[in-house]
Structure 1
Amino acid sequence: MNTIIGRVTKNAEIKILKNDKQVVNFSVAINDRYTTKQGERREQTTYYNCSYWINAKIAEYLTKGTLVELSGRTSSNAWIGKDGEIKSGLNFHTSNIKLHGGGKKLEMQVNRNEKPQKNNAFAEDTDDDLPF
């Protein structure tokens, strides 16, 4: 099992399959900063297309900019695009999601005066108004 931490790049979408199963699809960007041997600072961004099959209700919290910690399995795929060029992508089959905040849904929740539930040991140690 792998763990990645990154920011959601756009709001999650729920796809309903023929057998009424639901999958939450979203993408995550991970920034990596490093210094070359020549002393140059570089930054590289890696994108993962993520899927989560366990509970579709999480989609409302997976909004653009939310910092997430994901556990799951990584895979890759390659295809030939309509332009004839070879394309590739990284996939992350997510089995566990931890929200670390920063998305629009958290702001909306405060505006609707909903009482967040804290069942995360880390959330109890802070003054954050997070919904988990």
Structure 2
Amino acid sequence: MNIIGKVTHDAQVRTTTDKRQVVSFSVSVNDSYTNKQGERIKQFTFFDCSYWLSTGITKFLSKGTLVELSGRVSANTWTGKDGNAHTGLNFHTSQIKLLGNVGQHTNPTEQKEPVTADRDNGTDDLPF
């Protein structure tokens, strides 16, 4: 599955109990449509994302960066400290394409080729 959205906060590296490192970040996917009354309706879907291949990508995943992600989605449910049930969407990322930062490119023709990190083949096209 592929999604395109904006990073909602700077990515962070976490270390698991078995000493593995994972990059954690979240992405907002925005959509809009016009209803029968002619009103523009905006919808936002938030994904908590994890990326296990390379922690070097962290410096490129800052708030507002437009990314295209490939991977799989899973749902998560939990009970909060307040006792209420909560649900969320997790995106297990296998490939990241950096499409740019907010306001970085005003003209789409000026945009450079996206940078890609790919988990599937174990290669990294990132400049680090």
TM superposition score normalised by structure 2: 0.78
| Separation of aligned partners in 1, 2:64 and 2:27 | 9
Letter in 2 for 1:21: R
Cα distance change, pair 92–36 in 1 and its aligned pair in 2 (3 A): same
Q: How many residues matched?
A: 111
Higher share of residues assigned strand:
2
Structure of higher CA gyration radius? 1
Q: Which has the higher helix share?
A: 1
Cα RMSD, aligned residues only: 2.2
Cα deviations by residue, 1:68-119 (Å, 9 ceiling, x for unpaired): 000000011111111111111000000000001116xx9xxxxxxxxxxxxx
Alignment of 1:99-110 (within 5 A): 99-102=98-101
Aligned-residue identity in percent: 51
> Cα distance, 1:21 vs. partner?
1.2
> Deviation of residue 60 (structure 1)?
0.8
Counterpart in 2 of 1:116?
none
Residue in 2 that maps onto 1:60: 59
Runs of 4+ in structure 1 over 6 Å off: none
Unpaired runs of at least 5, structure 2: 116-125
Q: Deviations over 1:112-132 (max 9, x none)?
A: xxxxxxxxxxxxx85649775
Q: Secondary structure at the match of 2:100?
A: coil
Aligned-partner Cα distance in 1 for 2:92–2:37: 37
Superposition TM-score, scaled by structure 1 size: 0.76
